[in-house]
Amino acid sequence: MPKKVLSDGTEISQPNRAVDRLMKRLHVREVPDEEKPAMAVRWLDYYRKDRRSLTLAMEGCVKCGVCAEQCHAYLGTKDPNNIPAARADLMRRVYKRYFTVQGRLFGKLVGAVEMTMDVLEKWYSYYYQCSECRRCGHVCPFGIDTCEVTMAGREILWALGFVPELQGAASAMVFERGNQGGMTQAAIVDTHEFLTDEMEEERGFRIEFPVDKPNSDILYVPSSADYLLNAETLKGAAQFFEYVGANWTISSYMLEAGNFGLLTDQRSVQRELVRRLWWSVADLGIKKVVFGECGHGWRAWKMYTETLTDYAVAGPGYTYTKVPLVNIHQEVVALLKAGKLKLDPKNNRLAPVGTYVTLHDPCNYVRADQLGDVFRYVLYNSVPAVREMYPIKEKNFCCGGGSAILYDDPEMYNLRIKFFQKKADQVRASGANHICTPCSICKAQFYPMVKEHNLTTEDGKTIMPVNGLIDFLGAALVFKGHRQI
Amino acid sequence: MYFFVGKVLPYITVAILLGGITWRVWRWTIGRIKFNITIPPFPSSWPAAVLWIVWQIVSFWNVFKFDRPLWFGAWPMHVALAAIGGGHVLGVYTLGMQFHLLLPWLVTEHQSEAASNFLGTVFGIIFFVALLYLLYRRLAIEKVRVISATSDYLHLLLLLAIVGIGDYMRLVKTASLHYDEARHFMAGLFTFNPHPLPDNFFFFLHFLFVQIMLLIFPFSKLMHPFGILWNRWIINRPYQQPPMGMPGTKITL
């Protein structure tokens, strides 16, 4: 999309907007331009009364500036509007004008502004440059979670008809097929067969992927991007379940660990996935749900499922079977620590000796659930050598693709390259020649960005490979006399 | 003017301050904490979570870890503020005898007053210098300047005025006001029998500016001591991991 020009002449980059047919399928009504500002204020009023986290983010900031140097988006672009405090200020100024005493009385003096189309256009630009990684929330002395502002901003924009094509298309696919990639059951089964053949070549025996198998104990929910981009992760998970002899299955009705609803529209899209999850659990007799590699997805399931399991599933007169939700890494580590998995790091198909793997901690895994040590426990046991990048764990920087701002149009793609700058510096300084990141969105950002930033191995020509964590685990598992089931 | 500031305004100030804080906090409780959106560390119990919040408040831990230069301005400034706040209450109420009353076998009355004067002066100067640094930082550092509104500077200037006048009264003998005069005046206010303001222009200004600060307190970012509690109440909560171990597997934990 060409740059949007505001009324004062400044140019801003924005993601492509969804076409009319797509919006209709999402039941989003495009509000006419002249009504948008007033409508936005009404939505802001709704969300401030709905979410305490938003009200506190609006009223709690003292503008100390600690967050500025901690945001990869600001470090990469040097755009002052990408300072987390300033990004939140795009909303806070309007909030002050309409909902606070000081803003109504003193206006400009306290930085309050009227809601206009320009403000909304800026929101659409900058709230889709924030990757909701919550590093600013982690460093804020007051604990203001700026991610909540971005989320509310995006939801208001969504309701007004500012729907980005990427998120819109993915969300429409959630309603249609239960996953963002648009995979049908036939496509899923076909991919599985292909992967089974591949594993037979590698291992010498077949590992099947059960699909929609009734009376299964474990539902494995991979990210649908694994079918399109990260086949090794699927293979890794299959090998793990085969190794432990699990009665597991994959549901073609609910094939999405990732959750774009969390990032754009929690009221409808995210709720749809929660409904589909409990549907599958009831349908297949599941006793435990294990989620695959997806950072923001795990945050959505861990933190939001309970509240969003509401009237249609658990309201008065309804009931559902509540089963534990975990992610695959935690289960792997529990077994590893109990000494039940035999791994051979020296004989890893994906990481031959001489490979130095560096681990990129996905933001949502480490800042929504402290899995930094869990990842490391798996990685150090699966690959021959690890070289850490710094900072790590919950202090880690985002890859710049978080919250699925993986736009391909030239303007936003250029920004993506800039957002990756900090990560590229970190990887270079680590001296590694292989990248591991257990998150679908991180992988989707890394694949093109290692090329754009020319992150190469020692020979200076080969582009660094990128893999998930379960990929390495699967390849390092030592099977004896299988098959087990 | 002296009549209004000394006998009427204080009551208006206190009413608006308390009413404003209550109103503001009431607004914060309208919205629900809908989701358990916690941030590391993930304590396993409520006492551990509360301990972490208290630690963040007393040490400014995040500022210390992520912006060391700011910490050297902000932390001493707030410590000095706390010390001076406490000093004003205790020093004026006990006429500078607070240390003698606390440790009568160790500190004589004379030493207590000297210590009170000394600490007041030292913290006053720390407070003033730290505020100057914070103002300089807001003006000089690009990333902080671009996120500042006019009111952010005015808050600092108001505090500088209050502290500056206070320090002047401490350091210049002719401008100073003795504890008992201040106590006499404040006692009048508290017993709803207000006495006229002491005949000291600097005290008049000091007292007026403090009241202006308290008047805008509930309607500005000065509410942040309450904000930190309400914010951290949302994001620092205990979390219990679901038990590990998968059902129906051949290899079990």
Give the DSSP letter of residue B4. I
d(C-alpha A405, C-alpha A339), whole Å: 40
Q: Enter the DSSP assignment of B8.
A: I
Given B66, B231, B243, which is nearest A70 (Cβ)? B66
* Contact (CB<8Å) B38/A368: yes
CA distance linking residue A341 with residue A354, whole number of Å: 24
Q: For residues A234-251, b (16+ Cβ closer than 10 Å) or e, as one string? A: bbbbbbbbbbbbbbbbbb
Contact (CB, 8 A) for B131 and B77: yes
Specify the pLDDT at position A483. 52
Is residue B187 within 8 angstroms of chain A, CB to CB? no
Reported ipTM: 0.89
A484 pLDDT higher than 50: no
Cβ separation of B31 and A48 shorter than 8 Å? Answer: yes
**Residues of B whose CB is below 8 A from A74:** 143
Distance CA B249, CA B237 (A): 33
- Overall number of domains in chain B: 1
List the single residue in B with minimal CA-CA distance to A48: B31
Output the CA angle A186-A188-A192, nearest 5 degrees.
115
User: B253 falls in which pLDDT band (50, 70, 90)?
Assistant: confident
Buried b (16+ CB within 10 A) or exposed e, A297-327: bbbbbbbbbbebbeeebeeeeeeeeebebbb
Nearest partner of A18 among A247, A208, A171, judged by Cα: A171
Number of CB pairs < 8 Å for A and B?
Answer: 210
- Per-residue pLDDT band at B16 (split at 50, 70, 90): very high
Cα angle: B14, vertex B19, B21; to 5 degrees: 100
How far B18 CA sits from the closest chain A CA (Å)? Answer: 16
Give the C-alpha separation, A266 to A296, whole Å.
13
Residue B186 pLDDT > 70, yes or no? yes
| Residue B181: Cβ-neighbour burial (10 angstroms; 0-12, 13-18, 19+) | middle
Q: What mean pLDDT is predicted for residues A125-148? A: 91
Mean pLDDT of B126-153: 92
Q: Which residues contact B200 (CB under 8 A, 6 or more apart)?
A: B169, B175, B177, B181
Which of these, A13, A89, A80, A128, lies nearest to A403 by C-alpha position? A128
Question: Do the domain assignments include residue B196?
Answer: yes
Q: CATH fold of A29-162, please?
A: Fumarate Reductase Iron-sulfur Protein; Chain B, domain 2 (1.10.1060)
CATH topology of domain A171-331: Glutathione S-transferase Yfyf (Class Pi); Chain A, domain 2 (1.20.1050)
Report pLDDT digits (tens) over A171-222.
999 999 889 888 999 999 999 999 999 998 888 888 999 999 999 999 999 9
The answer to whether the Cβ–Cβ distance between B42 and A304 falls below 8 Å is no
Task: Evaluate if residue A485 carries a pLDDT over 50.
Answer: no
Tokens representing residue B29 in the block: 């409780």
Token pair for A138: 């982690």
Cβ atoms of A202 and A232 within 8 Å: the answer is no
Whether B103 has a pLDDT exceeding 90, the answer reads no
Architecture of domain A340-476: 3-Layer(aba) Sandwich (3.40)
Q: Which pair of tokens denotes residue A115?
A: 């809601």
Strand A248-249 and strand A218-221: the pairing is parallel
Burial tier of A339 (Cβ tally within 10 Å: 0-12, 13-18, 19+): exposed
> B47 pLDDT exceeds 60?
yes
Tell me the C-alpha distance between A39 and A31, whole Å: 8
A52-59 and B9-28 helices, crossing angle to 10°: 140
CA distance B179 to chain A (A): 34
Integer Cα distance of B44 and B32 in angstroms: 22
Yes or no: say if A463 and A420 are a contact pair by the CB < 8 Å rule: no
**How far is it, in rounded angstroms, from Cα A163 to Cα A165?**
6
Residue B153 with chain A: CB contacts under 8 Å: none
Chain B interface mutation, best of A54, A97, A142, highest count of B Cβ atoms under 10 Å: A142
CATH of residue B220: 1.20.950.20
Which residue stretches of A78-113 are H helix? Answer: 84-99, 101-106
Using the predicted structure, report yes or no on whether residue A482 has a pLDDT greater than 80.
no
- Does B240 map to a domain? no
- Type of residue numbered B48: A
Across A15-43, average pLDDT: 90
Give me the residue from B56, B234, B243 closest to A53, CB to CB: B234
CB A315 within 8 A of CB A381: no
Chain A 360-399, residues with CB within 8 Å of chain B CB atoms: 366-370, 394
**What distance lies between CA A246 and its chain's CA centroid?**
27
Asked, for residue B201, whether it belongs to a domain, the answer is yes
Q: Say how far apart CA A406 and CA B175 lie, in whole Å.
A: 65
- Put simply, the answer to whether B150 touches A148 (Cβ < 8 Å) is no
CATH 1.20.1050 boundaries in chain A:
171-331
> Is residue B249 in a domain?
no
Residues of B whose CB is below 8 A from A68:
143-144, 147
What's residue A123's pLDDT? 93
- For residue A255, pLDDT over 70 is answered with yes
Are B57 and A138 in contact by the 8 Å Cβ rule? The answer is no
Burial B90-121 (b: 16+ CB within 10 A, else e): bbbebbbbbbbeeeeeebeeeebbeebbebbe
- Say how many residues make up chain B: 253
Say what percent of chain A tops pLDDT 70: 99
Two structure tokens written together for A94:
């309007």
pLDDT value at A1 more than 80: no
Rounded Cα distance, B104 and B101, in Å? 5
Mean pLDDT score of chain B? 90
Q: Is residue B242 part of a domain?
A: no
Q: Measure CB to CB from residue A244 to each of B31, B40, B251 and give the nearest one.
A: B251
Average pLDDT, chain A: 90
* Separate counts of helices (H) and strands (E) for chain A: 24, 10
A483's CB contacts (< 8 A; 6+ apart) are: A205, A206, A207, A242
DSSP A318: -
In three-state secondary structure terms, A389 is: coil
- The answer to whether position B244 is within a domain reads no
Q: Does a structural domain hold residue B250?
A: no
Could you say which of A85, A218, A331 has the minimum Cβ distance to residue B244?
A: A331
- Residues B128 and A376: their CA atoms lie apart, in Å, by 48
- Give the side-chain half-sphere CA count within 13 A for B241: 14
Q: What's the burial of B196, exposed, middle or buried (CB within 10 Å: 0-12/13-18/19+)?
A: exposed
* B134, two tokens: 């914070």
**Quick one: tokens of A265?**
């529209």
Lowest-pLDDT range of A7-11, A193-197, A378-382, B188-192: A7-11
Q: Name the H helices within B94-197.
A: 98-102, 109-140, 142-145, 150-171, 179-190
Which pLDDT score, from 0 to 100, does residue B172 have? 87
Q: Which residues of B touch A340 (CB under 8 A)?
A: 251-253
Residue type at position B150: T
